[in-house]
Chain A
Amino acid sequence: MAFSPLVDQLLETLRVLPGVGPKTAQRMALHLLERDRDGGRRLVASLGEALEQVGYCQRCRTLTETPLCTICEDARRDEGLLCVVESPADMLAIEQAGGYRGHYFVLHGHLSPLDGIGPEDIGLDQLDERLANGAIEELILATNPTVEGEATAHYIAEQLRGTGVRLSRLAYGVPMGGELEYVDGGTLSRAFNGRLPFAQESS
């Protein structure tokens, strides 16, 4: 037995979401139609609103419905620090980890010549502008530790050559609570190369 055309269409549409296959789509659709039509309406409304209004922050390119995001608006944050990340999710992860009080710049991707993704596709021109008119003292390269992330970091570093902006890169290390035995070789050798003087007690 097949569902009616509208229900079928709903099932098909729900599958645009990541992690949703035919079975899950069916469960979601039946749940909304049979048990929670109000929830469904709220979903439609907020989805519609978000799709209509959410765009990119003019300064840091993260997702927001206002011209500037809350972080860029926040006067208490350090104007001299800029952290470059690949995605809004990375930015959120750093925010949740806490401790960082500077600003961000979101690339929405990384350089990947083999996929045809070049500097203009990840907003590096905009980063240039941002650096030209801002009082940035330190730029933190927080792109992923993949070859593409490294290449992106390298490109940005070249962009900054001679500007006097201090550059730093996130360190490679062993995960907290991890065991050396199970850490992959690449991480371990980089953690070794980037070892730090042993701090007795921070004074």
Chain B
Amino acid sequence: MTPEPAFLLHKRPYRETSAIVELLTLTQGRVRAVAQGVQRGGSKARGILQPYSPLHVTWSGNGELKRLRLLESQGSTALLAGEGLLCGFYANELMTRVLPLEYPVGEVFSHYALTLEALPSPAKRAGALRRLEITLLESLDMAPRFVDEHDAPLDAYTHYLYHAERHCFRAVAPGQGGIDGRSLKWLARGDWEAPGLAGVAKHVTRSALAPLLGERPLRSRELMRRLAERRRTS
């Protein structure tokens, strides 16, 4: 095979000197492979095989678990630190939890790369993550449709709740919370990065992702929440 652009999502030690890696690849989606010898001290690949670093890889094998062959770094790694790093963990955890193995998601790959570029600047973080989430949902046919349960367009003056099974919105009586139709109409136009809509956008993508994630919480989200709590109390 010709070398394939890829990002490392996760690496865990396997046997003594190898690792099992989860990669996000351009044409094959999420791929799981054994990287032999990368945990050995002095292994050159060890420094290359790091999350957030653009890679070129090849692999062999027909089963679910491939064998990683060639590994090259391609360009410079996003220098993530602090909260940006935790957001990166979140993106990676989301990919490993939601994407089926070897399900091609080229769009997600490019948005993942864009997200990594955006993560170092705090102002761009939330928007980039929402964009990535929505691309992920679209590629899995789970994206929210901005209509009500009768497929009628949303009304700017009504409040809505997300209907997870039908991927649409359900009107709620006034005073019962929900999201205002006006914000949803903005989101429908693809305005996921607008600062004023950050809260609403987060709520919508989170509700839409919930059925894919199931009961088990995202550990990176948990970590960020605890850190925020700590910051408030200190």
Contacts and interface: CB of A to CB of B under 8 A. Distances in A.
A139 to B, nearest CB: 15
Contacts of B182: none
A119 B88 contact: no
A147 B12 contact: no
Interface in A147-167: 147, 150-151, 154-155, 157-159, 161-163
Interface string A91-125: 00000000000000000000101111011000000
Contact of B77 (A118, A151, A186): A186
B53 interface: yes
Given A115-B12, A184-B48, A190 B79 contact: yes
Interface in B57-97: 73, 76-77, 79-83, 85-86, 88-90, 92-93, 96
Contacts of A150: 80-81, 85
Contact of A159 (B9, B82, B223, B230): B230
B44 A184 contact: yes
Contacts of A18: 16
B89 A113 contact: yes
Contact of A185 (B73, B222, B230): B73
A193 B231 CA distance: 28
B230 A147 contact: no
Contact of B47 (A113, A147, A157, A186): A186
A147 B85 contact: yes
B166 to A, nearest CB: 31
B73 A118 contact: no
B223 A114 contact: no
Interface of A: 18-19, 111, 113-116, 118-119, 146-147, 150-151, 154-155, 157-159, 161-163, 184-187, 189-190, 193
20 contacts: A19-B16, A113-B220, A114-B9, A114-B10, A118-B219, A118-B222, A119-B226, A146-B50, A154-B85, A154-B86, A155-B223, A155-B227, A161-B231, A161-B234, A184-B44, A184-B48, A186-B47, A187-B47, A189-B77, A193-B79
